[in-house]
Amino acid sequence: MTTRESAGAIVTVDLNAVAGNWRSLKARLAPGADCGAVVKADAYGLGVRRIAPALAAAGCRHFFVVAIDEGIDLAPAVPGADVAVLAPLVAGNEATIAAHGLIPTLNTLADVEAWSAFARRKGDVLPALLHVDTGMRRLGLAPDEVARLVAEPQRLDGVAVRLLMSHLACADEAHHPLNDKQLAGFIAAKTRLASAGIAPAASLANSAGIFLGPEYHFDLARPGAALYGIAPVPGEPNPMTPAVRVQAKILQVRDVDAPETVGYGATHRVSRPGRIATVASGYADGYPRSLSNIGTGFIGEHRVPVVGRVSMDLTTIDVTGVPENLARPGALVDLIGPLNPVDDVAQAAGTIGYELLTRIGRRAHRVWQGGNGDETPA
């Protein structure tokens, strides 16, 4: 376990911001629609055992993960809430899912048959989500499988379908034609299933889908990235509150002058007298190598460019214009923070905010602020 003193980087997660973002998204939904939370991948790398209770305290009762083990870890932290596992049902895991009170997602007819058979063997009626594919072409029942289920609804004997869901492929592009196509396909699947007596609540919108309008909201939205401050619609003003700050410690500061070079490959050539600081964060800690010579950090309000290559454990920054009392060993540099939000850093790195957050390394010391009014270290 890291400590603030021993760690090279500190990740601060604002639980009040996460909960506030959830409330903000819920307030945007059509009347009667509820708001869940996608907390897969350890809540996008930010600590699901801290984030999920804060969301539950805000009123969230529907949580979504991908892996069974994620659900097992999460369920005790949100007693009484629904915890759904989105990945396809793998044969042999039925008893584990049921024992931990998790809700599986049925993505194929084979999933339907396996969960139904397990429920009938137990002599019980067990909950499940039903996922239909409307255009993503990854997971979910294909239209011909939906047709077979409509023709043979007894395939769901022993199954209480809690939610019909699909996933939008292009919701972050408001005018993409696939959005309307998927909406129409979802409504058609919902109508066909209802004709066979399969009429659960419905869910289509992810974070960006919420901003497509009320016709996409149905009964339950499933935001993920926006909860953590990532912009739901790229290119538009971000309505979400930043929830994450990543700071790295300065390890050493040295004077440099032309024609010296910095870092592996000598890719940065010094052109004038200056100072270079080496900070304790590299690509092993989730700071992308693609930010070599183009990334930006901040020391207070002072912008400090990355110079040279980002290496596994270290990154070098130009602190020539920063007062020496601020740019000193032990001082913190914002790699993600108020002046360089996660989406800006991701764009510079040629990736997305989701990837940056989920790649934050285990060597960083994590601190959660808010929620219960305390600062809680890892």
Query: pLDDT value at position 2?
Result: 84
Catalytic residue among 26, 44, 228, 264: 264
SS3 for 64? strand
Integer Cα distance of 147 and 85 in angstroms: 24
Catalytic residue among 40, 190, 216, 228: 40
Residue-averaged pLDDT of the chain: 96
The reply to whether 228 belongs to the active site is no
Which CB contacts under 8 angstroms, 24+ apart, belong to 260-264?
261/308, 262/307, 262/308, 262/316, 263/292, 263/307, 263/308, 263/309, 263/311, 263/316, 264/308, 264/309, 264/311
Is the Cα torsion angle 71, 73, 76, 78 positive or negative in sign? negative
- Asked if residue 373 has pLDDT above 60, the reply is no
Integer Cα distance of 83 and 66 in angstroms: 10
Q: What is the mean pLDDT of residues 162-177?
A: 97
The angle that helices 177-195 and 143-151 make with each other, rounded to 10 degrees, is 10
Are 204 and 168 in contact, with CB atoms under 8 Å apart? yes
Give the tokens for residue 195. 């004709």
The reply to whether 216 belongs to the active site is no
Query: pLDDT value at position 377?
Result: 65
Residue 378: pLDDT band with limits 50, 70, 90:
low
Domains and CATH numbers, the chain: 31-227 (3.20.20.10), 244-377 (2.40.37.10)
What is the tens place of the pLDDT at every residue in 127-146?
999 999 999 999 999 999 99
Neighbours of 193 (CB within 10 A): 23
**Which segments within 80-156 are labelled E, that is strand?**
82-85, 103-106, 126-131
